[in-house]
Amino acid sequence: MTNKIIPYNPVLKELARRLRGKNTLCEFVLWKHIRRRALGVEFHRQVPILEYIVDFYCHELRLAIEVDGSIHRYKEEEDLKRQHCMERYDVTFIRFTNEEIKKDISNVLWRLQETVEELLQRKDIPPSPLQKGEYKVSGNPPFEGGAHRAGDVLRKR
């Protein structure tokens, strides 16, 4: 990963601040699970990058998370354009649909944890210590609806 500074349009800063108070239900649900370094890294909500605002962003890993509602089905080309613009600055993108978050948040969190760990390994940074009382699921991703497979371990972090 490079240390390129990622510019942003300062006009978007105020808009991003307002958007933080207007999360969709699925953004709120995901935020509840990733805030306070729950995945070992810090995420921020509604972050301006270049000429865009991403739903969640981890500066340390240059990881952007987008929650795509039904409107994004019609904006796929535009979404890919903005993703490619940010990838030029070594931003890794991961997208989840509202349906994935509503129906299988455990799998969403598992995929996010895997991505975070992979990016930390690339940067050769050990994950942050876990906060008291947090748990991590190790093993395979859960079945639809959050049920875990036999052999998966739920361990206190």
DSSP letter string over 37-91? TTTSS--EEEEEEBTEEEEEEETTTTEEEEEE-GGGGG-HHHHHHHHHHHHTTT-
For residue 152, what pLDDT band results from cuts at 50, 70 and 90? very low
Residue 151: both structure tokens together: 């052999």
* Predicted TM-score of the model (pTM): 0.75
pLDDT at 72: 47
135, containing H or E segment = strand 135-138
Q: What is the pLDDT of residues 117-150, one digit of tens each?
A: 999 999 876 656 655 444 454 455 544 444 444 3
How far lies 29's CA from each of 12, 51, 102, 120, in Å? 24, 26, 8, 24
Matching CATH number, 11-130, of 3.40.50.1970, 3.40.50.2000, 3.30.428.10, 3.40.960.10: 3.40.960.10
Give 87 or 131, the one with higher predicted confidence.
Answer: 87
| Mean pLDDT, rounded, of the chain | 81
pLDDT at 18: 87
Q: Which residue reads 């991403």 in tokens? A: 54
Q: Cβ(34)–Cβ(58) under 8 Å?
A: no
d(CA 53, CA 154): 35
Q: What is the pLDDT of residues 21-44, one digit of tens each?
A: 888 899 999 999 999 999 999 999
d(CA 1, CA 147): 35
Indicate the angle between helix axes 105-123 and 25-34, nearest 10 degrees.
50
For residue 74, what pLDDT band results from cuts at 50, 70 and 90? low
Domain range summary for the chain, segments of one domain joined by +: 11-130
pLDDT at 51: 93
pLDDT at 20 over 80: yes
Q: Cβ(57)–Cβ(47) under 8 Å?
A: yes
Least confident of 44-48, 76-80, 127-131: 127-131
